Every structure is written in structure tokens, then in C-alpha cells.
Structure 1
């Protein structure tokens, strides 16, 4: 595994924003991020879900205090993503592995984030365990216009019984006056092996593509951001063949999509999670072509990265170098998540 620093140069961003005193206020910059919150469940048993199998519910002592620590740890990470460049936490943050809207509200109300005044978009999904996706947004920066949930219907190959999994969340709204569309995903896992489960993620990619196609049928120049834990790498069929995500910006045609995480994975060996000493980059953010315009008179894609600060990395033991997760061996580690967050920067001229 190569040095796990983000691939972009902070110097480049700083140079664009502060070349000299006359240009210091010429650009605005916002962070758009995604974070798998690793089993952020509350402490109450929901009789309509299989939440008793969650790591939080398996903890027998001091569960309420552990829950508060877990929430605070999530808020700490969120407050830090992009802050060194923008002076702010993410304007838009997609999340997954949340049980309900309450746990998202608890994160948003943590002292580290309370002043950011985050709004929340969440729908209960049909996932058997109650694992959902959601969107957090700073109300002063983004105003939702519409929100919808899109159900993925997949079936077991042998029994033909339906497999209940996460919906895909679509939120359209104005980012400081400019219409953007955000899709938040958490595609089916690799349970049973990558090959055996591949068709489920291909189906998820087809649904994601259908949602984007629907938006682009109305406006081919729709500014769409699709993000999530895809449980596939940028090189897998779901992303490469179904979404047809491109590695180079110049190859993206109208209605196409650009994936900055392809190069991170293929050329630099970077990842957001590890298993059996093999790194994966399941967490990705992709943007449609209108974000790639370089005059910066509207919100434009600038850079992407993996938020892998030192405090998020396991320092010792068998999993040294891995993300410092919250739960292991039936207990709470006071860690964070088994995934590193990912993010992109959007910039725009202020004049």
C-alpha cells in the first residue's frame, strides 16, 4: 500500500484561492463529501427491524455513553473534512449505515456541528437491518427543492425471493442559487463473494443510471453528483460498464460522468477500506460533464480526495494502517469507521 495521503496538492488549491492580495476573495469553495458511518444505530430496539444484530445493540454495558461517544466521533470527522482548505465542514454530506433520522439529528446537534445548522434528508428504507442512506446539508448554503427515494428490487438467484436492500436517495436543490442534484447510494454488499454478488451491484448501477438519465432527459446539462459506498471499486463492471464513468475529463461527453477516483485506485493504489491486507476504494463521488467547465462562473469540480487523517488510522496490532473502526470483537474501540470519507471541492468565481 502506498503512502495514504490524498493525491491532490493543497498548494495548488491555495494558489488558486490566494495567488495574491487582489485575488484572495475571487473564488468561493465548498466541500461535498460522503462518509460511511459504520453502524450508527441508536440504543433502542426497533421491533420492525433486525437492529438487535447491530454492534450497538450487542453492547451490554454503558450503551448510552458509548452511543454518545460514537456520535461525537462521527461529528468530529465531519467537522474536519475539508476544513483546512475551506474553513468550513462540508456544505453537502452523503452518509450511509445510519439507522434512522434520529441518529443523523444527534450527529448534527453535536456541539462540533451545531453552529453549522445542518438540515437532513432521510427516508426509511426497506433494508432488513434498517441501514439507510441520508443527506446532511448546511441550510445557509443549500436549499432542497425536491427529494425522492428510489427502490432497488433484486431477488435471490435460487429462491427468487426478494432481497431487501437500501434505496437510492435523490435530492435536488440550490447550492447558493445554482441547481444541483445529489444521489446518495449504498449498493449491495459482497456477501457470498464478489462474483456471486456482482449482479446485485450491477442492478444497483442500472438504477443509478436510470435516475441520472431521467434528470438528463429533462435537461442534458443537469449538474449531478452521485456518491456512495458502492461495494465495488472504480474498475468493476457496475461503475466501468454500466455507469460508463470516465477516468479522464476530456473523455466525458454530454450526459457522461467523470470519476476522479479511478486514477487514485489504478495509478496510486489508494483506498478507503481494507480487508485481508487488500485495499478497496468502494467510496466514490462522481460528477456529470457540466461540473467540468473551467471558466468557474458556476460551481465547478476542482479536486477530489480521501480524508485519511492520522487520527483515523489504526496505529498498532493486526490491523495497523487500516481505518480505525468503531466496533471490533463485540466491543466499542472509541474509533470512527471502517471506511475513510471521500470528498470533492467545488469552486466558483465571486466576481
Structure 2
């Protein structure tokens, strides 16, 4: 693939050393997006999909599904395009019903030429929703994939709460070994305090996965991404994953969360009752913070909140422009904004 030379990367010249010759960098986007109830228009008797928004619509269900897919494809095609001139190399997604809806997305005209592959496992989630990974085959090659079950129980009834598995994909990004963990932690249903132990349990599972990778390779480059249903300063993230918001404070085998500072600055990915949360995050391990760019390193992070993704009128003005509301399809996108990180690698002139 031809290296991408970008205007924004010329700003790095002074960062490395003043007076040095101009350097060129290859850049890729790694993104995450909650696709907000992306269900197909067919009733699956094996799951509770009849409670999904699209199944509650009686007319034009297939046409609505196709438009929802098109809207999702548009966003996925756009993330990072402005800076990298390419759609994301890797995309974690959640709130998808099955592999078929993912196939419909990657076969959309906006994404077909990117030749995305899919990693997907069915989760036991009560709502019938899963997490998955999409990747451009020309730049990323999976070498191992696995799905990891989260077992949690209702504190009152001791009945099991069936939730999303955590997806782990190891592979090579243009020859560089990396690991991607895709998460959709348990919701705040029943209240933040009551549901807090469920997300702590999810964080402990994520931490065990990180630890297992670092036992094999202490210098493993790991991306932890997902809709965590917790903010960057919550116990699950700060105390269990032990994240840092300052790159210089990240110790050996430590985890950096660039989204913590965004949250402190008031930035969010989803809103409820005029309060913003930053539930969607991408965290990285220490080896992605090195200042030698012979292999891919973290460059910057962001929330993808372009104007077309924002509600521009009504009581939810300024919120993410969601797909479903008032018992119907709004022709919107998602109740979450996507998040992304850029990784860069020095290339020859």
C-alpha cells in the first residue's frame, strides 16, 4: 500500500528535532463505533430480537433496514478520512445482531472497495447483540481470534445476567504484531450504583486478558476499545485497569487512556438528560507510546462528532443523531459518537 504523506504529519518535524530533514509517516486509523441496535428485518425465534426497534416497526421494515445499513457504512467510511485519506484500517463495533448485518455493511458501495474482513462470535446477551471487528485485509492480518465469556449474576436473585463476550483479535498491522480487544460492558440498567459490580467484573476480565498477553510478551501492543458504560474516571477503569491520563506516568505494562483528558474537558460520546458521558474509549499499552517510529506508535486520539452526526433541532439538539426514536426510524445514525486513534510509522522518502 502506498504510504500516505499528510500535511498534519509535517507538524511532527519540530517534535522530533529542529533542523532535521522532513520525515514521512504512514498513518492508520483504529476506530470503535456503537451501531445502535443494528438488527436485520427478520425475526429470529432463537433470540429476543422482537424487542429491537426495527421489529417494532410494521411497515417498510426492509427499506428502513437498508437505510440504517447505508447510514452506518457512511460513518465507518468517513472516520479518519479527512486526515488519512482512507477509512479505518481496523474498526471495533457493538450492538450488532449477527454476522449478516456486518456483511451488509462491508458490501455497501461506500466500503466495498476497502475489502473488509470480519471477526465475529455470537454472544449470549439477553438482547441478542454482539461485538465484532472489521479490518482491511490489505493492511491487517488476523493470526488468532477468541471470544471470552463474562459470567455475572444479579445480586438480588443470583440469576445469571447474560451479556456480551469480550473479543480478542491478535494479528499484524502491515507486519507489526498488535492485539485488539473489543468490549461492550454491562449497561447501567437499574442505576449506576447497582450495576457497578458488573462493570468491575468486566474490567477484571479485560485485565486478565491484558495480563495473559503480557506474560507471553511484556512488550505487547494492545488496544482496548469499546462501549464501557463507564466514564474514564470510574473505578472499573481507573482502579481495575489502572489507567493513566498522562503518557509520562505510564509504567512498564501500564495502560494509557487518552480519553480521560477529553472527559475532564467536557467532551462526551453519548448524552442523557442533558448530561454527557464518555463511555466509548480506546486505551493502549505502554509499547505504543515509544518515540522511535520504526514500528507503529500512537499519534493522537479523538471523538468523531462531525456536524451530520449531531441533532440540529428539537429537545435533543446537540445530542448524537440517533437512529431510533418515538417508535420509528429517524434516518439518523447512533446514540453514540465513534472514537478513534491514529497510529503512525516512519517510512522512507
The answer to whether TM tops 0.5 is yes
| 2:282 and 2:340 in contact (8 A); partners too | yes
- Summarize deviations over 1:219-276 as a string: whole Å, max 9, x none: 110000000000000000000100001010011111110000000001x100000000
CA pair 273-347 structure 1, distance change in 2 beyond 3 A: same
Q: Which secondary structure state, in structure 2, belongs to the residue aligned with residue 125 of structure 1?
A: coil
Aligned to 2:327: 330
Aligned to 2:81: 83
| 2:9 and 2:25 in contact (8 A); partners too | no
CA pair 95-17 structure 1, distance change in 2 beyond 3 A: farther
Q: Distance in 1 between matches of 2:249 and 2:91?
A: 27
Aligned to 1:264: 262
Aligned to 1:112: 110
Q: Distance in 1 between matches of 2:51 and 2:141?
A: 36
Q: Aligned runs of 1:147-166 on 2, under 5 Å?
A: 147-166=145-164
Q: Which secondary structure state, in structure 2, belongs to the residue aligned with residue 61 of structure 1?
A: coil
The alignment's TM-score, normalised by the length of structure 2, stands at: 0.95
- Summarize deviations over 1:85-117 as a string: whole Å, max 9, x none: 000000000000000000011000000000000
Q: Aligned runs of 1:152-231 on 2, under 5 Å?
A: 152-231=150-229
Structure 1 residue 159 displacement after superposition: 1.1
Aligned to 1:38: 36
Q: Distance in 2 between matches of 1:275 and 1:289?
A: 33
Counting matched residue pairs gives 339
CA pair 306-50 structure 1, distance change in 2 beyond 3 A: same
Aligned to 1:288: 285
| 1:17 and 1:27 in contact (8 A); partners too | no
Aligned to 1:5: none
- Summarize deviations over 1:96-152 as a string: whole Å, max 9, x none: 000000001100000000000000000000001111000000000000000000000
The alignment's TM-score, normalised by the length of structure 1, stands at: 0.94
Q: Aligned runs of 1:27-66 on 2, under 5 Å?
A: 27-66=25-64
Aligned to 1:4: none
- Summarize deviations over 1:258-295 as a string: whole Å, max 9, x none: 000000001x1000000000000000000000000011
Q: CA RMSD in A?
A: 1.6
Q: Distance in 1 between matches of 2:69 and 2:14?
A: 35
Q: Distance in 2 between matches of 1:177 and 1:334?
A: 40
| 2:10 and 2:22 in contact (8 A); partners too | no
- Summarize deviations over 1:168-209 as a string: whole Å, max 9, x none: 000000000011000000000000100000000000000000
Q: Distance in 1 between matches of 2:182 and 2:226?
A: 6
Structure 1 residue 18 displacement after superposition: 12
Structure 1 residue 297 displacement after superposition: 1.0
Q: Distance in 2 between matches of 1:123 and 1:18?
A: 45
Q: Distance in 2 between matches of 1:275 and 1:17?
A: 42
Structure 1 residue 160 displacement after superposition: 0.8
Give the counterpart of 2:11 among 4, 15, 29: 15
Structure 1 residue 11 displacement after superposition: 7.1
Q: Aligned runs of 1:119-158 on 2, under 5 Å?
A: 119-158=117-156
| 2:96 and 2:131 in contact (8 A); partners too | yes
Aligned to 2:318: 321
Q: Distance in 2 between matches of 1:39 and 1:158?
A: 28
| 2:8 and 2:83 in contact (8 A); partners too | no
Q: Which secondary structure state, in structure 2, belongs to the residue aligned with residue 115 of structure 1?
A: helix
Structure 1 residue 16 displacement after superposition: 3.2
Structure 1 residue 23 displacement after superposition: 3.9
- Summarize deviations over 1:298-338 as a string: whole Å, max 9, x none: 10000000000000000000000000000001100000000
| 2:95 and 2:131 in contact (8 A); partners too | yes
Query: Unaligned 5+ residue runs, structure 2?
Result: 1-5
